Amino acid sequence: MNKEQLKKEQPVVYQTLSNALKRDHLAHAYLFVGPKGSPKNEMAVLLAQSLVCHHTDSDGFACQECDVCQRIRKEEAIDFKWIHGDKNRIKKKDILDLQSFFEATSVEIENRRIYFLEQFDQATPDASNSLLKFLEEPRPGIFAIISADEKSNVLPTIQSRCQWIQFRPASKQRFITMLEEMTDTESAKMLAQFGYTMEQAKEILAWPDFDLIKDSAKKYTMNWDDLSMILSMQREVFVAKSEHMQKEKIRFWLECVLYYTKENKKGISLSKQIHIQEILIEGMDMLRRPIELALFLDKLYNQIRKVVIS
């Protein structure tokens, strides 16, 4: 994501940092807070680049193209350290290593060195305490960027030593673009439309029967007056007591059917489509209650079939 996209995606964050950069009025520590999927990492890299790039633009941001910017982006610059906390929790050792790294290495670029602690809300309590000591003795030219999904999971004493920058949730288009790295465009669009969070979408994409459920919904909407279609749903997909027969999977299947009802309009009048959509939405609502799933599905197939052949 380049700076133009960041400006569009996060105008308030962009403006706040732009003002600080232009006036050279920078905090020595920033706390980037925002839900998963918001471009905190991209903004951290841009801020780090902007602190050292010699070709800043009129907004105060880095060119993102020069040698220095490239090295930061590739994490090859000696004066930029990114501790990736997304897979492993940041530990005390990571913070101590960082401290000794900054003490041992010579200053390479413009007397400014930046460290980025990603997903610090997952860090261990020991890591938080070590970081606090680090932050309590700010050294000129060292900048901290700390990111967290939830501000409340960061020690209040750390919060108070940072300038807090709030990110807004990712736009639908960005959500789709991120999902497209994991799946096809159609599935990405569907998951975005269904209103899942990034975490939920990732979980659903990891289901071994994701394709089976989605494809069966598509086939179903193309042949739903056909009794053999219902039989194959009963025998091949939502078989009683099978691993597919779970509420969240049936809910996802209903969402897919709703999606394809709108996509494959052929042969069905608008009033029938609306009627079917009502049945599906009511079905999703019923799934919130304790129900017998096989019975629920049989009733639903029959209700829809009645509408189609009426």
For residue 246, give the nearest of 283, 188, 294 by alpha carbon: 294
State the Cα–Cα distance between residues 28 and 196, nearest whole angstrom.
36
State the Cα–Cα distance between residues 33 and 163, nearest whole angstrom.
11
Question: Measured from the CB atom, is 47 or 69 closer to Zn ion?
Answer: 69
230 lies in the site for Zn ion, by CB under 5 A: no
Q: Which stretch binds Zn ion (CB under 5 A): 11-19, 54-62, 75-83, 94-102?
A: 54-62
Residue 165, CB-side half-sphere exposure with 13 Å CA sphere: 27
Query: By CB under 5 A, how many residues form the interface with Zn ion?
Result: 6
By beta carbon distance, the residue nearest Zn ion is 53
CB of 54 to Zn ion, least distance (A): 7
User: What residues have CB less than 8 Å from 88, skipping those under 6 apart?
Assistant: none
User: What residues have CB less than 8 Å from 55, skipping those under 6 apart?
Assistant: 62, 63, 65, 66
26 lies in the site for Zn ion, by CB under 5 A: no
155 lies in the site for Zn ion, by CB under 5 A: no
State the Cα–Cα distance between residues 304 and 64, nearest whole angstrom.
55
State the Cα–Cα distance between residues 279 and 267, nearest whole angstrom.
18
CB of 80 to Zn ion, least distance (A): 13
Question: Measured from the CB atom, is 53 or 170 closer to Zn ion?
Answer: 53
Q: Which stretch binds Zn ion (CB under 5 A): 20-28, 51-59, 123-131, 267-275?
A: 51-59
291 lies in the site for Zn ion, by CB under 5 A: no
**Binds Zn ion (CB under 5 A): choice among 48, 53, 77, 229:** 53
CB of 147 to Zn ion, least distance (A): 22
212 lies in the site for Zn ion, by CB under 5 A: no
User: Strand locations in 9-109, DSSP E?
Assistant: 29-33, 80-83
Question: Measured from the CB atom, is 62 or 304 closer to Zn ion?
Answer: 62
Which residues inside 55-94 make contact with Zn ion, applying CB under 5 A? 55, 62-63, 66, 69
Question: Measured from the CB atom, is 53 or 154 closer to Zn ion?
Answer: 53
96 lies in the site for Zn ion, by CB under 5 A: no
Question: Measured from the CB atom, is 69 or 280 closer to Zn ion?
Answer: 69
State the Cα–Cα distance between residues 145 and 96, nearest whole angstrom.
16
State the Cα–Cα distance between residues 211 and 166, nearest whole angstrom.
37
Q: Which stretch binds Zn ion (CB under 5 A): 52-60, 78-86, 95-103, 254-262?
A: 52-60
154 lies in the site for Zn ion, by CB under 5 A: no
3-state secondary structure of 117: strand
CB of 30 to Zn ion, least distance (A): 20
CB of 17 to Zn ion, least distance (A): 16
112 lies in the site for Zn ion, by CB under 5 A: no
Residue 100, CB-side half-sphere exposure with 13 Å CA sphere: 5
Backbone torsions φ then ψ of 145, nearest 5 degrees: -125, 125
Question: Measured from the CB atom, is 31 or 45 closer to Zn ion?
Answer: 45
| 160 Ramachandran zone, left/alpha/beta (phi>0; psi -120 to 50) | alpha
Q: Residue numbers of the site for Zn ion (CB under 5 A)?
A: 53, 55, 62-63, 66, 69
